Structure formats: structure tokens, C-alpha cells
A and B are shown apart, each in its own frame.
Chain A
Amino acid sequence: MWEYTGKVKEHFLNPRNVGEIENADGVGEVGSMACGDALKLTFKVDGGIIQDAKFKTFGCASAIASASALTELLIGKTVEEAEKLTNDHIADYLGGLPKEKMHCSVMGHEALEKAIACYRGEPDKVQAGNVVCECFHITDLQLERAVTDHSLKSIEEITNYIKAGGGCGQCHDTIQGIIDRVNGTLTEKPPAPKPLTNIQKIKLIEETLEREIKPALMQDGGDIQLVDVDGDRVLVKLKGRCAACAMSQITLKDYVESKLKELVAQALTVEEVVS
């Protein structure tokens, strides 16, 4: 069981400002059902001051308490003051959050940023960067920012703050790379291997599929066929059991891609072609 402070429990059991303001001046929505939590923040501004704020949330006790605390922090502040709030203010207001739950306060902060951008008529910042963690849709830029802002040092800390890495774990190597890069520990780059020519690359992919990947899949009653190589995208068709099986995504991404990355080139990605 989580050790929640009395303040978290109190806000969870008696959340303030639940609901949605009609014709709100600022609206910020973050999260999704798949991610396990989500928050919709709305506020009303008059004379530059946030007169009212409301929230709706789907999530655990600390998500509800964080959203409730956020609305209390907002009401009565100018928009400029509100802009200076961070997730730490939310957590502090609640007397602290268990470290595994810090992402709840981060979600509050993200909703606030979005709502302020919306209020100012700034375009919704598109998620810039490349998605690193597929499970929670977190990009490399978001990761870099989190590592810098909160001086995070491990994947576990990242997961606690922005959830990335908390699902299948496939993104762990990339996340570790970002941590190392931002924290400047990765000073010496290993010498880059000589790039392959296109012909060499395709040949090597073919060989690897035949020699390493096919036999393993066939043992489980499946099969794989190379359709095309387009730059660094490897297009394959899956046959037999693998295609129907619920794990086919994982077999593909996890196994084929990691093998190809390991044995051919790091940049390769694998895509399934449905016939």
C-alpha cells in the first residue's frame, strides 16, 4: 500500500473544484486511458486573474489529489504567476508524494502548461521529437527536458516522473542513452562502424533473416518473409502462427528488430506488411 500523506488522502476523499467550466478561457488535456491516467483542466480568467479552475481526472488517488491541489493553487493567481508553478509546487502543497507517484504531479503541470497556451491562443505545441517510449508516447525531447529539469539519473526515476519506460521496457536502452548524453557521461563515442552500401545492407539483412531469425520463428510454428528494404525500413510479411498470435507485435518488434539492429545496423526498423 502507498504511504500517502494526510493531505493527499484528504484531497482524494474530498476533491475541490471537480467539474468542467463551460466556455472556459483555458483548457488543457493530457494523458489517455491507455496510459492509466488523464486530466482535463479548465479555467476562467478575468482581469488577468484566474477566477475559477476545475478539473476532471481519471487515475489513482494521487492523480486526483494532485489535480485538486492544482486548482487550489491556481485560483486567485495571475496567469503570469500560474505560469511559474511547477510539479514540485503541487507535490509540496500535498506534503509530498511517494516517488513512484511523482508523475501525477507532472501530469498536473503539463495540463497547466497546455491550458495557459490555449488561453494565450498559442498553437498547441505538437509533441516535437521522436517517440522513444511507445507505451506512453514520450519523445526524446520530453525525456531530455525531464532529465534536465528534475536532475534524473536512472530509468526508474524517469518512470516515476513521466512514466516512460514503465511498460514493456523496450525503450530502456534508448532512455539510458539519453540520460548518459544529457548528464554528459558519454564523452567518448565509440568509433562509428563503416557504413554499409545498399547492396551490402540488403544482402546482410537477407542472410540474417535466413540464418538467425527464420529458424527461431519456425520452431514456434511461424515464418517470416522479406518484402522490401526502403532505406532503413525493413518490410516483412509474417506467416503462420505468428500473424494470428497476440504476441506477433512483440515477436516482430522485439525479436526481429533487435536481431537486425544487433547484426546488421542500429538504424534499422521493422514494419509488418499485411497482405
Chain B
Amino acid sequence: MKPIYLDNNATTQVAPEVVEEMLPYYSTFYGNPSSMHTFGGNVGKKIREARAKLAELIGAQPEEIVFTSCGTESDSTAIWAALRANPDKRHVLTSHVEHPAVKNLAEYLGRNGYRVTFVPVDNQGRLDLDHLYSHLSDDTAIVSLMWANNETGVVFPVEEVAKRVHKRGIVFHTDAVQIVGKLPINMADNTIDMLSLSGHKLHAPKGIGALYIRKGTKFAPFLMGGHQENGRRGGTENVAAIVGLGKAAELAVARMDDENTRVKALRDKLETSLLSAIPNSMVNGDVASRLPNTTSIAFEFVEGESILLMLDEYNICASSGSACTSGSLEPSHVLRAMQVPFTAAHGSIRFSLSVYNAEDEVNQVIERLPPIIDRLRKMSPFWAEKERSCQTNA
């Protein structure tokens, strides 16, 4: 049975068109793009094509794109490049809600001689801009902020921030892994210096990513080696995956409209229906500035892993901000940073849609989930207490 896949912020289905485009680069055209022969050279041409397509998706110049192995590598590359380009600056600024790809590196830097400022967010997940601006200093080497949050879908005003940061001569990097392919972006219209993206979030395969580096940005490679990627990233190219990412970028341009109309409407239907069918439920994050495909909903007094496993019985795939699924015991750092109360944080579920979702799938969730929450609440000692206190209040 085909799963009802509503976990597209975790990873996406590789588009069939992408697979088709990739296969010949494993079987027939396996040459090395650096080789002197035509057989390899033709592969090089195909990579150029892919680079141009990806550049078009984000409004960049093809030379500004460096292919990497994943979003995480792009993030690390960008941050280390900025630190190496500014060896006398020892301050890094980022936010409290970054993906581990940035968060763990920032924490590492904090333990190893750098001063790191983590900018807080409010209870809607919105960045505290005053805090951010007041912490910029002449010692700041890089500001790295995610463009859209993977758990809540909240979109940060990074273009506006980049402008202010840039004016002070500070490098600005954004982790755009979640936004690329979901909302239109245009690097020609902003001053962001570096941007990370990842293939598997936009229907390309896992294990391919890219880093956008604006022309003129001081850069030092993270992986030193051959002259590939213009000396900016050593290592023989993952040709088929690069070809796949190019194709996925082309599809994303064509499907941007669908994502922001039909998919968004499906997300909205799912959200409003669940909120009205299930008491004590609320959306996590600022609905006014959000990805079109994501909703994070807190169901009070129940625990996320139980919800997910009961949904799993119907082959419905989602994810949770709950601790139990990850092996750690604290709820997600994103929900904690937003000061979502424990009653809600443990029972938060993220649904993330894609162009491959149909209305009938959303309807199934709307039908299946309310009884699941009801059942778990009947089992929960806190729900009973809550009901009792409501009765005495009345």
C-alpha cells in the first residue's frame, strides 16, 4: 500500500522524471568530467546544464553554485569559509532554532575560542531582530540564520537582515534547505553572501546539496583536493545526483505555482479541519510568515510518539517535535525556544506536504486523527485532571 506521505520536510520522493534523467549517468555516461576525452567531456557539459538550471531556480549566476554532498556540508563549508576569511574576528551570531547542521557547529565553536550569540525567538517562532542587531559588533565574522524553519515552517526575514548585516561588512549566510523549491527566491534581488540547499528536500536524491557563493565573497574550500568546482570543493563530482538536482530544480520552477496554490490549500484544509475537530489543539509558529506546505500542531496532554505510531497503523507518515522519537528526552529545541509549554510540546506533530499529495490523503488524516487523540487523552492522567478542573471552574 502506498503510504500517505506527509513528512516532506524530512525528505521527499525522488521525482520519476529525476530518476529517469539520472539513470544514464550510472550506466551509459559514466565518464569522469575532468577527463580529456570526449566521453568524459560530455558529462562535464551535462553538469554545466544542471548548474544553470539550479541557478535559475534561485536567481543566481551558474558560477555562484558549488555542488556539495548535502545541506550539512554546505552549512559547514559556509561557516568555516567565513571564519577563515576573517581570522581575527571571533564572534558568530545565529539563532536558537537552527537545524543541528548549524546549531551543533555553533556550539562547537562556542567551546573552542569563539563567542557565539544565539538570537532568541518569540512564542510564534519570530526572530528577535532588536536582539540580533544589538549584538552585531566589529568582531562578528558571520551571521548565519535559517531562511525557513524545518519544524514549524516559519520564514525569517533574512533578506532584510542580510542588508543590515552586509552594511557592517559582516558575512551573511542562510540555511535555505527548507525554502528552496517551496517559495520563490531570487538572489539577484538580495545581498545574502552564501546560501545552503539540499537536493532531497526538493525531489532530488539524498546526498547531493549545493552552496551558493555570491561573486566577490572571500572563500576557502572545506574539502581540499582536486580542482573540481573551480577549486572550491575537491572530489570527483557525484554526476548522476548533480544531474538529478538540475532536473529537480527545473521541475520546481514549473511546480512553484502548484505548491503555493493547491498544496497550500491542502495544508490549510488539514490544519483548520484538525483544529476545529480536536479541542485543545493549536498551531506552533507564525501563520503569517510560513512555508506553504508545513503545519506544526500541538495536541495538548498526549505524547507525540504515540500519535505517530497510531497514525502509522493507517500508513500515515508525519513527524513530531516530541523527544521520545529521537531518543533524547527533552522536546525539540525549536519548540522549547518558542516557550511552547510542556503540555503542548510533547504532543506536537508536524505535517509537511508536497506536490505529490492529493486531497483524498488529507481527508484520510482528518478522519483518522481525531479519534486517535481522543483515545490517547482518555488514557492520559492529565486529561482527566484538566477535565475535572474545567468542571469545577464552570
Binding site for B on A (CB under 8 A): 9, 12-13, 15, 18, 20, 29, 33-40, 56-61, 63-64, 100, 135-136, 159, 163, 166-168, 219-221, 241, 245-247
- If A13-B313, A221-B135 touch, does A36 touch B306 (CB 8 Å cutoff)? no
The answer to whether B303 has its CB under 8 Å from any CB of chain A is yes
Q: What is the interface residue range for chain B against chain A?
A: 35 or more
- If A58-B303, A246-B339, A247-B120 touch, does A36 touch B331 (CB 8 Å cutoff)? yes
Q: Give the complex CA separation of A12 and B302 in angstroms.
A: 14
Most chain B beta-carbon contacts within 10 A, residue among A20, A57, A241: A57
Q: By the criterion CB–CB under 8 Å, are B381 and A166 in contact?
A: no
The answer to whether B359 has its CB under 8 Å from any CB of chain A is no
**What is the 8 Å Cβ interface bit string for chain B, positions 323-335, against chain A (1 contact, 0 not)?**
1110111110000
Residues 321 to 373 of chain B near chain A (Cβ within 8 Å) = 322-325, 327-331, 337, 339, 342-343, 346
The answer to whether B378 has its CB under 8 Å from any CB of chain A is yes
- Tell me which of A36, A57, A221 contacts B346 (CB under 8 A): A36
The answer to whether B98 has its CB under 8 Å from any CB of chain A is no
How many A-B contacts are there with CB distance less than 8 Å? 87
- If A13-B313, A36-B346 touch, does A58 touch B382 (CB 8 Å cutoff)? yes
A36-B324, A39-B381, A167-B329 known, 11 other contacts, Cβ within 8 Å: A36-B323, A56-B380, A57-B380, A60-B303, A60-B305, A61-B309, A63-B303, A64-B306, A159-B329, A220-B117, A241-B131
- Tell me which of B305, B328, B339 contacts A166 (CB under 8 A): B328
Binding site for A on B (CB under 8 A): 96, 115, 117-118, 120, 131, 134-135, 301-306, 309-310, 313, 322-325, 327-331, 337, 339, 342-343, 346, 378-382, 384
Q: Give the complex CA separation of A58 and B382 in angstroms.
A: 7
Contacts of B323 in A (CB 8 A): 36
Contacts of A38 in B (CB 8 A): 381-382
Q: By the criterion CB–CB under 8 Å, are A33 and B313 in contact?
A: no
Min Cβ gap B89→A in Å is 13
Q: By the criterion CB–CB under 8 Å, are B329 and A36 in contact?
A: yes
Q: By the criterion CB–CB under 8 Å, are A57 and B379 in contact?
A: yes
Sample 27 A-B pairs with CB under 8 A, ordered by A number: A9-B309, A12-B306, A13-B310, A18-B379, A33-B301, A33-B342, A36-B324, A36-B330, A36-B346, A37-B324, A38-B382, A56-B384, A58-B301, A58-B302, A59-B303, A60-B303, A60-B304, A60-B305, A60-B324, A61-B309, A63-B303, A136-B329, A220-B117, A221-B135, A246-B337, A246-B339, A247-B120
